[in-house]
Amino acid sequence: MDKDLSKTSIEAFLEQDQNKDLLRFLTAGSVDDGKSTLIGRLLFDTKKIYEDQLAALERDNLREGHAENDTDYALLLDGLKAEREQGITIDVAYRYFSTNKRKFIIADTPGHEQYTRNMVTGASTANLAIILVDATAGIITQTKRHTFLASLLGIKHVVLAVNKMDLIGFKQDVFEKICYEYKDFVTRLNIPDVHCIPLSALKGDNVVDRSEKMPWYDGKTLLHFLESVHVSSDQNFIDFRYPVQYVLRPSHNYRGFAARVAAGILRKGDEVMVLPSKKKSTVASITTFDGELDSAFPPLSVAMTLADEIDISRGDMIVHPNNVPKVERHFEAMLVWMNEHAMGPDKNYIIKHTTNTTKVRIDKIRYRIDVNTLNKTDCNAFELNDIGRAVFTTNKPLFFDSYQKNKTTGSFILIDPISFNTVAVGMIIDRVSSENMPTRITGAELGKAKHGKSFIKEPERQKRYNQKAVTIWIMGRHGSGKNQLAYKTERELFDRGATTVLIDGSVVRSGLSRELDYSPSDRAEHLRRVAHLCQLLNDQGLITICTFISPDDDIRNQVAEIIGKERFHLIYVEADQEFCKAQEPDLYQKVEQGQLQYLPGVDLPFEEPENPAITLAQQEANIEPTEVIAYLEEKGIFPLH
């Protein structure tokens, strides 16, 4: 009987211990504020250090301790040789411990400014941040820096631990002054829950047990606060998000989809929708290693099966039909640059968002934030530890929420496509409509790109081909006849012996620019690619003939910069709207009825060029290249003279 009771008691205890909730928190602060010492003291006073660890601590304290006559508890966390030699934290140290009320995972993060990326790594999964302040120094730049980072990463609970109170005689007025200054700063940030605790990590005052040396403080000790702070409501249980990670097919009669629930609650029988296909079905089962469940919620990892056969693969997202995330290619986000090499403004990166991976470009940097002052400044590229706001465009749509709403579906990492190193982490703010996307051509120094020099000189190519290498850029509205002019010009030049290449916008969009749409920002990227292609062909001595609407005057000027203004010759086929509608009535009708969008001259501006090389007024459906050929002869382009 006693054995049965004992067994029951042990099983009940283990079950209770297993079901305790988990709090992830980090410590941050300036160098030598006592972060590692505080955690070491917390572990020591809660009796969470094993005998062999305690013996090693006593031994290491004699050889490497920095606390004079006291035990240096920081040695429990600073494991790197360089950390022990310098008495500082360099890498993130994680420690696990538990009490009767809660389990904890601690991230001890470095205080040096150059290790900002390490602090961001530790904070990315934390529910709470302990910001340490040296009571003898007060609020300093690093205090504000780490508080801003905590706010940026969506941490809603912050403890200002005013450490080293023993060095100021446990004075109440000093503590209150520090708290007032800190709370005045925090009002500018998005941190709803802030608590201030006076303590001495080295002596143990107010860490686990209440200090008798500060009778004026009637708040909670640090451990009591950590055990009682309410963080379960921080999870998003409303917006169901299930980014599919793996398709399970162990047998012919089972096809499940494995993932971690990113947000919301999933129940058997729920109607769900798959993105991007928008196919709908109902949940047939929810399974874990331990068996079937009736429901699942974050952060459980489960496998679900559906009542219908739907094509689903990794990267798809399962949601509730009446509550879907944003499905977009354009968005704004805060970015923390974590790579030693600066950002390449004209470089494409790989973005990993939930289980989705695709290419991404950075269209524009809105600003960089000085995290010491919170001032915003202009910049052209991010460098190591820089934080700022930027606009992104991905090759395919992502399914995302704002980071404030959902950390999992609102965060991403950028990967260098060559080294495959993680170069940055990002927190999505919101989508950007195509109309508000920056339309300037992206690319460093435009036409001044560095490239190797050929052994063949330009005059040699001119002599070989009997022509000057130029780009004939033919523009005009849809239906103006510009394409007809381009193809007739190519035919005439070919018959006369010229060496030409014709680049048609619709052909380029079917291959080189197939992932781009017709929005102003993607139109600019489309023309940037074509301009660089023309530059390469001209460098080889060829005449390129291009036919594009190119409605924006600023973009045309940038295209000319890339190709080279001396090589760029603009031909404008002028035709009024009525003429163009008569040539392509179906296209214009679809735009006017809202079935299509982004047609220059209808729902987008069309800017006529100010000084084209030739303007051809289109009066008839048929157009001849006579004036273009005469212009090339007059300028000595072809034949060469």
Q: For residue 618, what pLDDT is reported? A: 76
- % of the chain beyond a pLDDT of 90: 57
Which fold does the domain 16-232 belong to in CATH? Rossmann fold (3.40.50)
Q: Please give the residue that has the higher pLDDT: either 373 or 143.
A: 143
Q: Which of 42-51, 503-512, 563-572 has the lowest mean pLDDT?
A: 42-51
How confident is the prediction for the chain on average, in pLDDT?
Answer: 86
pLDDT band at 40 (very low <50, low <70, confident <90, very high): confident
The residue written with tokens 């939930």 in the block is 354
Distance of alpha carbon 35 from alpha carbon 139, whole angstroms? 15
Distance CA 65, CA 149 (A): 31
Q: How confident is the model at residue 123 (pLDDT cuts 50, 70, 90)?
A: confident
Rounded mean pLDDT, 545-569: 94
Q: At residue 306, does pLDDT exceed 90? A: yes
* 127 against 345, higher pLDDT: 127
CATH number of 241-319: 2.40.30.10
> Which of 458, 612, 620, 600 lies closest to 540 in space, CA to CA?
458
What is the tens place of the pLDDT at every residue in 266-297? 999 999 999 999 999 999 999 998 899 999 99
Which residue ranges does the chain devote to CATH 2.40.30.10? 241-319, 327-432
DSSP line for 62-87: HHH--STTS--GGGGT--SHHHHHHT
CA pair distance 264, 122, nearest whole angstrom: 25
Residue ranges, comma separated, of all CATH 3.40.50.300 domains in the chain are: 16-232, 446-634
**How far apart, in whole angstroms, are the C-alpha atoms of residue 320 and residue 281?**
10
pLDDT in tens, 446-493: 444 445 678 889 999 999 999 999 999 999 999 999 999 999 999 999
Q: CA–CA separation, 603 vs 608, rounded Å?
A: 16
Amino acid 174: pLDDT:
95
Q: How far apart are CA 40 and CA 25, in angstroms?
A: 14
- 169 or 110, which is more confident? 169
Q: Does CATH place domain 327-432 in 1.10.287.70?
A: no
Residue 615 has pLDDT above 70, yes or no: yes
Does the pLDDT value for residue 385 go beyond 90?
Answer: no
Is pLDDT above 90 for 256? yes
CATH of domain 446-634: 3.40.50.300
Q: Where is average pLDDT lowest: 430-434, 479-483, 519-523, 627-631?
A: 430-434
pLDDT tens string 393-424:
999 999 999 999 999 999 999 999 999 999 99
- Residue 466 has which token pair? 């009997």
Helices within 65-197 (DSSP H only):
81-86, 116-123, 141-152, 172-186
pLDDT band at 598 (very low <50, low <70, confident <90, very high): confident
Q: DSSP 3-state assignment of 302? A: strand
**pTM of the shown model:** 0.74
Confidence bin at 251 (pLDDT 50/70/90):
confident
